[in-house]
Structure 1
């Protein structure tokens, strides 16, 4: 698995680095540590500074060296990469050139002139990346819960199946606890949910959802016995996922980039985006 870790040395990037070392990656892993010297956007030709006025580019070598040394001490064999340009654009371009499987970034980064992985940059990476994106966020509790607790959002869509494939490609063991959650969307206006939940079509959809959850549970249990499944019903799928993650004390939410349409929709782009913005923990957004 090819991993691109974008760092600026901020506390948020350090959280991303810690998460990378904590996840049960397969032995065949290829890590590149990237830092970008961010180039400011000029509003007009007259805004071009003279050589004396131009700010000096920050020295990112110490940042790269520190991260490389940390991963090497843990048995990784990382490579380093420095690029110049607009942060999000360079991260995405590097991922394309390296045929990366997953980009890991902090949810935010340095502020001021040296800013790198601000929320806007992370969101741009999430939007334009050619691969899956792991956005690391420090849980509200001090440190991370142990064992690793992962909430997998599943609705039977191609990207949800890709999320399952990604999860099963990891070296899962008894130190990983997984909660597979499906959300069925209720139409609560004018109490339509009363008619909705008693209709034969709803009951058929509910049984189909249970069948999918049972299938995924059996697949994951071949790797770890610590698997639970949950079918939730609610007006807002993203809020149901967030509530489930909080109740489960999840350290990581795994979601597909897009999901099913219709009455049982779960992982539409807007849902995944809201989960990323409001999750109390890290989020891995998987592309098919």
Structure 2
């Protein structure tokens, strides 16, 4: 796999470099470090940024790039030219103004990149717990596959979360809802078949995993599970998905999860 690791500046990007480098190491991927400058006079400082990042990745195959211009356009161009499989960006780095600008760049990259995007936030040194979010049926299979492959490579545990909305009036609390999961898995409903299929994918990748079923607003339930479960990474689908799931994956859900998740988010775009 080829990873494009985008660096806005140091020391703000250190967590992004560490986490992206950890993913690259566990998946045996090569890394391209990309730093975008706004004018030619920033090139020397840009080299120092890349020097520092490169020092943090001593055991990886690393290529370095400095590009000048609009960050979003330069990143998208590098993705196409370099035939990368994953782009890694930081959720927030630097001053409040830089954070707002980067946030805009990050969302643009998620919307427009032809590949999956890893948004790094509050990253720890190791990937130990992965939350894989699935909206249902066969269109979510690439999300489960991507999360399973990553969890397998990192020897991490995983949870497969399915959110059903709206909340049926017969349920009065989360405890009662969770008790229905074993019964649901014994049925032949589309949701049950989907969850069993997801569990088979995780088992095929030899990932220690559990299934989670929640009722409510998708974004709210994903964020609640991410906080309560203390996951290191949330995996969710990107835009461009056809069918009934398009709104679930394209609209507010993915954006809200990226913006408000307590930890890093992998936005999966099928190849």
Shorter chain as denominator, the TM-score bin is 0.7 to 0.9
Higher mean alpha-carbon deviation, 86-95 vs 155-164, is at 155-164
Query: What displacement does 1:157 show?
Result: 5.4
Which residue pairs with 2:166 in the alignment? 186
The match for 1:248 is: 229
In 1, are the aligned partners of 2:130 and 2:147 still within 8 Å (CA)? no
Alignment partner, residue 166 of structure 1: 146
Residue 117 of structure 1 deviates from its aligned partner by 6.3
User: Is 1:32–2:17 an aligned residue pair?
Assistant: no
Cα 1:260–1:155 change in 2 (3 A) is: farther
Instruction: Work out whether residues 108 and 117 of structure 1, in 8 Å CA contact, stay in contact via their aligned partners in 2.
Output: no
Q: Is the 8 A contact 2:117 2:266 kept in 1?
A: yes
Change (3 A) 1:38 1:159: farther
TM-score (norm 2): 0.81
Q: Name the structure where helix makes up a greater proportion of residues.
A: 2
Greater radius of gyration (CA):
1
Shift of 1:61: 0.3
Q: 2:145–2:201: 8 Å Cα contact kept in structure 1?
A: no
2:156 is aligned, of 157, 176, 180, to 176
The partner residue of 2:252 within 270, 274, 280 is 270
Alpha-carbon distance in 2 for matches of 1:57, 1:116: 21
C-alpha deviation, 1:160, in angstroms: 2.4
Deviations 1:204-229 (A, max 9, x none): 99932122112211221233342011
Give the alignment partner of residue 215 of structure 2, picking from 216, 228, 233: 233
Deviates more, 1:91-100 or 1:117-126: 117-126
Task: Determine the C-alpha separation between the residues in 1 that align with 2:188 and 2:11.
Answer: 43
Which residue is equivalent to 1:50?
Answer: none
How far the C-alpha of 1:156 sits from its partner, in A, is 3.5
- What is the aligned partner in structure 2 of residue 282 from structure 1? 264
Alpha-carbon displacement from aligned partner over 1:50-103 (angstroms, at most 9, x marks no partner): xxxxx93252001112212221x2x21110011000111111111111121111
SS of 1:156's partner is: coil
Return the alpha-carbon distance in structure 2 between the equivalents of residues 116 and 265 of structure 1.
26
Q: Give the one of 32, 38, 48 matched to 1:62.
A: 48
Distance 1:99 1:211 in 2: 35
Q: Please give the alpha-carbon distance, in whole angstroms, between the structure 2 residues aligned to 1:56 and 1:174.
A: 40
Gaps of 5+ in 2: 172-183
RMSD value, Cα = 3.2
The CA deviation at 1:158 is 6.0
Provide the C-alpha distance between the structure 2 equivalents of 1:206 and 1:260, rounded to a whole number of angstroms: 24
Distance 2:191 2:229 in 1: 20
- Taking structure 1 as reference, are residues 20 and 174 closer, same or farther at Cα in structure 2, changes over 3 Å only? closer
SS of the residue 1:97 aligns to = helix
Q: Counterparts of 1:174 and 1:125 in 2: how far apart (Å)?
A: 25
- In structure 1, runs of 5+ residues without a counterpart are 40-54, 188-192, 197-202
Secondary structure, in 3 states, of the residue corresponding to 1:118? helix
Q: 2:176 matched to which residue of 1?
A: none
Structure 2 CA distance for partners of 1:159 and 1:126, relative to 1, 3 Å: farther
